[in-house]
Structure 1
Amino acid sequence: MIDPSSNATGVSSGPVARPGSHQTPLPGQNASFAMNRNYSILCRTLAANNIDIERHPDVHAVVANLELIHTRATLVVHAPPNEPFVSIMVTLPVNMPSQRRAAVGELLHRLNYDLRIGTFEFSYDDGEVRFHVSVLLPSKNYNLSGKALLHWLAVAMHSLDGFSPTILRVASSNVSPAHAHEQSEAEFREYLDGLKGGADHPVA
């Protein structure tokens, strides 16, 4: 698998992604400015990849509606000032039906157990499914490169999109979570093999 992941809980916070390169802040550059640079880099990176975004600079977040390969999704990325992290969330457009939420929750537990970066999060109250990657930065002054940010965005998008047929199959039929999970890895690998831009590029 690419580097999606987690611990084994349906509503969980899995291992965080740790970027591999950074730029040293200029002399006199404070933490707030450095983190705002991450927000600027985020906006530029998404625009360069033809992803239309709603900017919310007051809360240091962007929102985008995505047309992926298997599903539509909503992307929310938060790059707060004075905090050493960037949070990436991609959410399915439909909520899971109440009668199948227990089964979907079990499937997501199983999927999370296999992943290495990011985690599926699930609300048993309203049936919302999202994939969350929390990129932990070495310091508040750390500046992500556009290339690194693009990688983490791709991980989140591919994870939700690639596993969405499995999730929706469990949500809409009597397929057992265990059986769906057994088939999911081969299906996900086939999905990754079919990506035209490669696993490090968003599919939107």
Structure 2
Amino acid sequence: MAGQPILPILPMDMWQSSVSYSRSLPSHASSSSKAIHKPGWMIRAQPEILPDSARHAMNHRHLILCLLATLTSMDASAWSRMAEAEISAFKGIPCFTISKKEERRNGTPMLGALMVYDISIKPPVEVWSFILLGATPLPMHAKTCYLYGQVPAGAESTAATMLKTGRMYSVFLNGRPDDPSDSTRGYKGKFCLIATTNGGQQVIPIKRDMQAWIDEICPANTPAQKGQ
């Protein structure tokens, strides 16, 4: 894979300190618990008792995420267009963005939510997501990308599940260009993880013109490399 992606140029306090994989923890994060971040871990304190208004707000957020998730299975139709996301890697971790062509299409797209699913199993299982509710959407540029597990400031997220080699995953970036007449309603991509010869992992983007995109099975003939 040519080159390394450039991470978003944002103040350090806008990102969580590291990619935190949850171990033996629930597969989703809730605003009803307090997160304490340590390198490689996400430790949660005892949940608080939420008032009815907070529970209603949480249910509303979950409903929005469920509605957005339905878009991940949609392709372009007469009334909408699903563009292809760009997937790269940073130190073996997937990073998500859009192409230069999409950035130039009709103005800088703005990101409102991002979801990653394990599609090797049926039905697919969400492994990580974030959503910007009540916060300003984030601009998407081809030269920057959103690293798996890192949450932008102001976003609400689920805990990032550790990704596994030999699995295929899909990502959906919920965003669109500035031009309201543009039919684009999001950016979808697929990728696989394979083990490298030095014990690491390699991210393999799956393009729409590949048979693996249709089969949703990782290619068996991809050569392993030393790392990314």
When normalised by structure 2's length, the TM-score is 0.25
Bigger share in strand: 2
Q: TM-score, normalising length from structure 1?
A: 0.27
Higher relative contact order (CA 8 A, sep 6+): 1
